Amino acid sequence: MALIPPVAPMLAEARRVLPPEGALPGGLVAEQKADGFRALVFARPGSVLIQSRRGSDLTPAFPDIAAAALALGEVLILDGELVVPHRGRLDFPELQRRARRRGRSAAEVAALHPAYLIVFDVLEAAGTERLARPYRERRALLEDLFARDVLGAPFTLCPNTTDRGTARWATLAGGNWSDYLAARRAAP
């Protein structure tokens, strides 16, 4: 059964301290939170919708992401974080300016300040809803979509880790998303 928007995204929990070893069914998987807008991308043949966390239509504000989603060639619903890198950092104010643009203005600013979708989940693929499937299975499917080049720039795979030391560092230190996006953009 296909998902029909609006869909309420699953929300992560911010933690100051990692849960004890073995406390989470399926184990610990940590992802860094990017400074952006949560978005679900509904890609279907001939149509695309970019939905905000609260259910608003962001499609007109992000024509670059919409065009890439239309070109996918597969029915997918992706869950991720819209970001705009600028001058070596993720630029939340620039992302906010992008979100207010429509029409020609949105296309012009997209050319100057392209957006990316850092994808951390796939909710539907090939017309099959995946929400009830275990996270590890959905993650394997998502990694396969990137490995087969179904997904590429402006979509980028959200790094994750099951290593507690790395997870502790990522939650405390941050890291540099702009460097990561630049490396993804340069990758063949």
Instruction: Determine which one of 28, 29, 31, 33 is catalytic.
Output: 33
**Other residues' Cβ atoms within 10 Å of the Cβ of residue 30:** 19
Q: Where are the domains of the chain?
A: 30-186
**CATH superfamily of domain region 30-186:** DNA ligase/mRNA capping enzyme (3.30.470.30)
Give residue-wise pLDDT tens across range 18-61. 777 877 777 778 787 788 999 999 999 999 999 999 999 999 99
Max distance between CA atoms of the chain, in angstroms, equals 52
> pLDDT per residue over 88-104, tens digit each?
889 999 999 999 999 99
Sole residue written with tokens 């809803």 = 129
Amino acid at site 56: S
pTM, 2 dp:
0.85
Residue type present at position 77: I
Whether residue 180 lies in the annotated active site: no
* 6 upstream amide cis, omega within 30 of 0: yes
